[in-house]
Structure 1
């Protein structure tokens, strides 16, 4: 092969570096979203709509009916007898709930907007031949564009803002401009030096006493001090997600799952992940399993020799722990006593709204963005999550901060949410391709140490928690563990969302959960039947889960020592350690 032929072969066999740099530059402008994926979706929709003239005529007819309906409503409004709305907002849309929106001309403005929104929903769904994924992308994109033009977002067309401006003599707008300048300055500076505001990690947040007993290139392991004279012999190892700081599970006194477990007589260990940078770009899922779960288990076994471990995983940490537990079951490794998965997906065929951002075009584009920087930045992750809940996280914030001139007081969960992390290039690529895109774990193609694993390899009891309003790990997707596992599964469905449904301490108002136990021999119970037939219990799910752990534990024993100096796990720093403080 000549040098020219070799160069040509290299260029066509894989991504060309300058192409990847070009994609990364575009990604900085699009927040990591692939313009090609968007073009493909809209081309699919427009091409199929163009080939369905009957559907086009139906849409024209529907548009004319809506225009006549709005005109009739306008006439009634001018006559002073509107008699309510001609169209109601969606159940989760509270933008126009204030009575001021029923007054002319704001009643006409918001009703026209809602009618237009409904028409576009009909236009972008149900077109024969359109790929379902492309249909979802088009519908979502059009909804985002319409939300930009909502009359609630602008001073002249929002009666609530106009009323506040009249009351405050315009000072709300001055405060809003000041808020905007402050936010713009922080964005240009790369974020706030103290994203948690007045809250300080280790002082206000993550305050349960403990010691760091191990540190490696990816994580620190914290052992928490006992709070009772005797403890359950089996320790609890918590593996949180690394798209978030671990202390969501050790938020504040009386709001801390760690504190609750320690007070119930459990010896608790927590993995605190490093916030990676470009130097960690080649850390993959295998590294997180090896340096995370495996390294933590060795340390826990050294501190509590001869005891099996209750493994607990949250979100992505639960997916990683599932992979490790499946490999351990396959290899007859009996170090686990149980597996608890909190808001964790194992089957990614229905991953919820995040599926909008997962296809071959989008993943390839995002890989190039991450390749250039070495990691997925906090801005890309935050942008995707904000788009999924744009009314709550973008536009309502815009109105409150910049038009009303208000700033909401920081609270613990909000402070934690602002303390974002990064994701290494290799790991996130592995995760998106192997799990989200190809669903290799469920399909039996996920290899660990050269051999495939599956959920069915897990041979310890499983406790799986889902939350009802979870848009990251939808509860019906999480529920699939009941069908996939070949061991006893206890499934709980809690009120709340992905975070608030997990941080659901006893005494929290308006909390309830449904709980059922399943064995491998039980007939299949569809998710709809579970939701309909299982009686809801008032209160937090924490006590029920803790009782489940206690039932799988032995008689109480004296607490173990802090660390195991003789085995190389001597305590060397106070919790929360250093990694959680990395920006």
Structure 2
């Protein structure tokens, strides 16, 4: 609002206040309709109801939630919901989430998500979508789980991997700088280790406080921001939706938190591109699928430098790509600016790596173009970049997402690698 509000601003502010008083909410927080396909130990796979007005488009998309954060990060509110956007685009959309965590889950470690949860969700989504390969999209720690799964299980039906706001070099995260010197003082037997084992995990209030601390400046200035934007319905609706997101934080399983804390926060396990999980080492260089890495321009939890470091370890990926988009940690995924930035990048990426030709026609076309047996065509089509790369590169223009490092979002660091 202006220092001296206009008549229209006063009317809009009064309308927003009345909406809150009468209905208790400005934001449309209705979840997108979905169906539970299968569930297991800390695993629920959902399929979102297709749009009746949008024809099916491309291969299925699987959204991978981070631990502790609610899965509504992908379905924040109507108008700012990545799920809503994907469904309205006609994309078969799936979500894996983990349910509530209590003391009974204290022994679950990272291996549970990399060995069981994410791989089974990929396989089930692919089967439900008619055997099509799946675009795996993970946010925050969900992105790291997606990367580790793709590296550990290259045989999964994965069309591409997108890691959004997923830091792999924790030394580049200022928020954890005070914690890192504690390495060696608390290797599982110190106060922190004893505490999370005793209570079975990290309780919800502490998880919520940690997220709020990352946006402390916004938290302090919140009253002034609300007063200055009383006439902005979209601003108030977004604030309300983010509040609900924060209130819905869940607990961390004890063993998983211990591994995240010791390996990532204090140990910076992935800075070298590999980490030990159980009796094996998982190397990110083993990922063969195309990988899109997204970083939020103002993200304090996963700063650009911390996210970008993963690129040097994706030597096996068919095509790694890096993009900087507007917003902080949550805003980059589902903020108001995401509609014309992050989602546009994701749309083009998925279209580029989806086979939109019906499977039977695609096999006949490839069989005619190459003289190899048809049975080998379907198995190797996605592994052979030459047939797809040429038309993509030829079509890239100044208006193409990822093709021009100076065009978009005011960041010269956004770029497509290998072009």
Q: How high is the TM-score relative to the length of structure 2?
A: 0.69
Is 1:222–2:53 an aligned residue pair?
no
The residue number in structure 1 matching 2:332 is: 501
How far off is 1:215 after superposition?
Answer: 1.3
Is 1:292–2:113 an aligned residue pair?
no
The residue number in structure 1 matching 2:400 is: none
Residue 348 of structure 1 is aligned with which of 170, 173, 178? 170
**1:233 and 1:392 mapped to 2: Cα distance?**
39
Residue aligned with 1:238, SS: strand
**1:389 and 1:362 mapped to 2: Cα distance?**
27
How far off is 1:372 after superposition?
Answer: 1.7
**1:456 and 1:248 mapped to 2: Cα distance?**
29
**1:400 and 1:230 mapped to 2: Cα distance?**
41
Give the total of aligned pairs. 321
Seen in structure 2, the aligned counterparts of structure 1 residues 225 and 287 have a Cα distance that, compared at 3 Å, is same
CA contact (8 A) 2:171 2:177 kept: no
CA contact (8 A) 1:504 1:541 kept: no
The residue number in structure 2 matching 1:211 is: 35
CA contact (8 A) 1:284 1:424 kept: yes
Greater Rg over alpha carbons, structure? 1
Consecutive unaligned residues in structure 1, runs of 5 or more: 1-97, 99-196, 402-407, 513-538, 559-583
The residue number in structure 1 matching 2:284 is: 455
**2:201 and 2:277 mapped to 1: Cα distance?**
23
**1:503 and 1:441 mapped to 2: Cα distance?**
26
CA contact (8 A) 2:176 2:265 kept: no
Residue aligned with 1:290, SS: helix
How far off is 1:482 after superposition?
Answer: 2.3
CA RMSD of aligned residues (A): 2.9
**1:388 and 1:258 mapped to 2: Cα distance?**
25
How far off is 1:433 after superposition?
Answer: 1.7
The residue number in structure 1 matching 2:84 is: 259
CA contact (8 A) 1:218 1:291 kept: no
CA contact (8 A) 1:233 1:307 kept: no
How far off is 1:287 after superposition?
Answer: 1.1
Post-superposition Cα deviations, 1:481-534, rounded to whole Å, max 9, x if no partner, equal: 2222113222111121101122135xx4xx79xxxxxxxxxxxxxxxxxxxxxx
Q: Output aligned runs, 1:9-48, within 5 Å.
A: none
**2:109 and 2:61 mapped to 1: Cα distance?**
25
How far off is 1:279 after superposition?
Answer: 1.2
Is 1:424–2:253 an aligned residue pair?
yes
CA contact (8 A) 2:207 2:250 kept: no
Seen in structure 2, the aligned counterparts of structure 1 residues 504 and 387 have a Cα distance that, compared at 3 Å, is closer
**2:216 and 2:271 mapped to 1: Cα distance?**
32
The residue number in structure 2 matching 1:186 is: none
The residue number in structure 2 matching 1:490 is: 321
Residue aligned with 1:349, SS: helix
**1:206 and 1:282 mapped to 2: Cα distance?**
34
**1:557 and 1:457 mapped to 2: Cα distance?**
30
**2:217 and 2:134 mapped to 1: Cα distance?**
42
The residue number in structure 1 matching 2:267 is: 438
The residue number in structure 2 matching 1:101 is: none
Consecutive unaligned residues in structure 2, runs of 5 or more: 4-22, 227-235, 360-419
The residue number in structure 2 matching 1:481 is: 310
**2:357 and 2:145 mapped to 1: Cα distance?**
30
**1:427 and 1:457 mapped to 2: Cα distance?**
24
The residue number in structure 1 matching 2:127 is: 302
**1:470 and 1:285 mapped to 2: Cα distance?**
24
CA contact (8 A) 2:179 2:265 kept: no
How far off is 1:230 after superposition?
Answer: 3.4
Is 1:380–2:206 an aligned residue pair?
yes
CA contact (8 A) 2:208 2:246 kept: no
**2:265 and 2:111 mapped to 1: Cα distance?**
16
How far off is 1:222 after superposition?
Answer: 0.7
Seen in structure 2, the aligned counterparts of structure 1 residues 396 and 552 have a Cα distance that, compared at 3 Å, is closer
How far off is 1:419 after superposition?
Answer: 1.6
